[in-house]
Amino acid sequence: SLRCGDEVTVCCKRDFYIKFKDIQWDEWIIAPEGYHMNYCMGQCPQHLAGSPGIASSFHATVFNQLKVNGINTATASCCIPTERRPLSMVYFNSQHSIVKTDVPDMIVESCGCT
Amino acid sequence: GSPACASCGLPAMEKDAEQKMMIEIAKQHLLEKLHLKERPNITQTVPKVALLTALRKLHSGRVRQDGTLELENSLPTKDQGYEIVSFADISDSDSGDKASLSLTFQFLQERGKSIQVLQSSLWIYAKLSEDPHRSSRLLARVFLSADEETSDSNRTLVIEKMIEVKESNWHTFPITHTLQTFLDGGQRRLRLEVSCEEGERNLCSFNGSLTKANQPFMVAQVRLRDNHSKHLIRKR
């Protein structure tokens, strides 16, 4: 998976971090100190369809079949997350109770083309 | 800023405007995932020392030297689970002729959502017995109080157990079933009374003399119950 630089062309992961203190959310979020809301961006030209790593998905299989048979598809391949991990959080809820939960699929680790 | 978005049609944005938009998206995303309509306004702060004591009991975090919390992932489960620590509103009440510790917990359940309590326990700090001639073990009782009145007739014994009082220490009282029954009833205020009677004294009472670190609290591990799947089962 590629990490985006300043110039974005091909599908890559853009790191984006928010520190809760900067937005005064550290008053109710006890941990962690911030959130990595990374996201995927960039182009997926046809020769990159299904790379890296998600060829096993239904979409990639269909695209590849169409390509192999020389059928020109009008649809483009998309740049999407291929790996995500949960975010563990401890926070105050509106009753001033403290809640700890693991929110699934919150942090994008890598991106790829469908 | 970023170039225009070829696939979603967003126009090219200035870096500041993009940063602001991304922060707003992140805020909405987090609130949505935590099932919160808006960010909670914390009006009364829980003393940090009590907070860290409770979280340490949650066994779900290591406290770093600088006092910040390092989280550990809980066991991955299919449904999103929650571990809740709730500090009680505390008062000493007279039930009959003995003072007992009265704890009131507030709950707010979203309509249409029901909660399954996987486990829950009450953490009470019992002080050291000052009478060297007394037995080192004491019977501690937890009652469910039906409403504001504290006369014996409105109390239901939830659990009783012998506790060691040779030294001041924390003691846990499992209340899983009590909390589940309470939440299933859709009530909002759970009132528990704790008595650790030693003569005229209640070794479990919490008053100003104890440090905030020993504030009694409840821990609960819960999961949102999916009523919809129950219907599916019926169809099958």
Q: How far is A37 from chain B (nearest CA, A)?
A: 7
Put simply, whether A89 touches B (Cβ < 8 Å) is yes
- Extract the tokens encoding B86: 């709730």
- Extract the tokens encoding B181: 């029954």
Put simply, whether A53 touches B (Cβ < 8 Å) is no
Residue A18 has pLDDT above 90, yes or no: yes
ipTM value, please give it: 0.78
Q: Name the residue facing B68 among A31, A92, A97 (closest C-beta).
A: A31
CA-nearest residue to B81 within chain A is A101
CA distance B31 to B119: 26
Put simply, whether A97 touches B (Cβ < 8 Å) is yes
Contacts of A8 in chain B (CB under 8 A): 2-3
- Extract the tokens encoding B81: 């689970």
Put simply, whether A43 touches B (Cβ < 8 Å) is yes
Q: Grade residue B97 by pLDDT with cuts at 50, 70 and 90.
A: very low
CA-nearest residue to B51 within chain A is A98
> How far, in Å, are A106, B29, B191, B223 from residue B76 at the CA level?
14, 21, 33, 12
Q: pLDDT tens across B190-235, in order? A: 888 888 887 777 778 776 555 667 888 898 888 877 655 555 554 4
Q: pLDDT tens across A55-90, in order? A: 456 666 666 676 677 665 555 678 889 899 999 998
Identify each DSSP E strand in B23-109 by its residue range. 61-63, 69-71, 81-87, 89-95, 98-106
Contacts of B39 in chain A (CB under 8 A): 25, 28
Q: pLDDT tens across B136-182, in order? A: 788 888 988 876 555 556 788 889 998 888 888 888 899 999 989 88
Q: What are phi and psi of B55, to 5 degrees?
A: -70, -35
A2-30: average pLDDT:
89
| Local structure of B15: helix, strand or coil | helix
Contacts of A86 in chain B (CB under 8 A): 73, 76
Q: Grade residue B29 by pLDDT with cuts at 50, 70 and 90.
A: very high
- B222 forms beta bridges with B82, B117
Q: Are B109 and B213 in contact (CB under 8 A)?
A: no
